[in-house]
Structure 1
């Protein structure tokens, strides 16, 4: 009985995704949890870059993307779980060409410009200007 309930809850979250050749998709920057994305952790880190065109469908869940030369170190075939449908008007999209990505699609860049310390009554508060 419990398995039936759990299955019904899980089935509500399953989404049937299917992309066609020529469609544009967003690519998840880092599919692993706990990995720093673009130097920030948690909800402030960008999740997707793109948009990239689908060149070929390999099976039911694999798609080959047309990646630019800046991402030549990344294998062009991706699972459907790390792709997201692209909708026009991409103010939310982060342009990949302004950053360097490694093979795990992670990026870390921190430049500390200033580190002032503010004194309060009971403690010193260090702030960092990045």
Structure 2
């Protein structure tokens, strides 16, 4: 049993890389999608998981760093664990402007529908499913998606007046 544990420990340590950042390094900050919102920019696995880049202002402890955050993220504490950071080689072409990303105080994406564009009924063999075409406030990826009408009425009743 001990030899198997040691073998697995060696496998894990071979792939582990200690992360350390220097003052002035650019890092990306990990954010999590809001539960229930399935689209931000792109669908599924292709949605952005990191925002930034942000500059490392100081090292707080062995695994904590203080970042220089813009005013849009003023409500968020500026000290983060190293597991929430990723080193960034700054490429201006691939940056998502922070004005386009709506993030709450828990670093969750916020995406709101703007209006209902169209309606249709999907007919199956024994039932009909009402759908609405929704225009979202995201600028990257598809701006329009087809959603179930009853779910959209429950979440966003102001769109159906």
Give the TM-score band, short-chain normalised: 0.7 to 0.9
Partner of 2:34: 36
| Greater relative CO (CA pairs within 8 A, separation 6+) | 1
Q: Note the aligned Cα RMSD (angstroms).
A: 2.5
Q: Which digits, 9 at most, give the CA deviation of each residue in 1:97-121, with x for residues without a partner?
A: 2233212100232416244222255
Cα 1:125–1:2 shift into 2, 3 Å: farther
Alpha-carbon distance between aligned partners in 2 of 1:37 and 1:24, rounded to the nearest angstrom = 28
Tell me: CA distance 1:89–1:128, structure 2 relative to 1, closer, same or farther (3 Å). farther
Q: Quick one: structure 1 residues 102 and 119, their matched pair in 2 at CA, closer, same or farther if it must change by over 3 Å?
A: same
| Uncovered stretches (5+) of structure 1, i.e. residues with no partner | none
Provide the C-alpha distance between the structure 1 equivalents of 2:57 and 2:88, rounded to a whole number of angstroms.
15
TM-score (norm 1): 0.80
8 Å CA contact 2:56, 2:66 repeated in 1: yes
Give the count of matched residue pairs.
126
Distance 1:125 1:44, change over 3 A: farther
Is 2:121 the counterpart of 1:107?
Answer: no
CA distance in 1, matches of 2:128, 2:73: 44
Which stretches of structure 1, 4 residues or longer, exceed 3 Å deviation after superposition? Answer: 90-93, 120-128
Q: What is the TM-score with the length of structure 2 in the denominator?
A: 0.66
Find the partner of 1:117 among 102, 121, 124: 121
Alignment of 1:43-54 (within 5 A): 43-54=45-56
- Decide which structure has the larger Cα Rg and report it: 2
User: What SS does structure 2 have at the residue aligned with 1:36?
Assistant: coil
- Relative to structure 1, the CA distance from residue 37 to residue 64 in structure 2 (aligned partners, 3 Å threshold; closer, same or farther) is farther
Structure with more strand by fraction: 2
SS of the residue 2:133 aligns to? coil
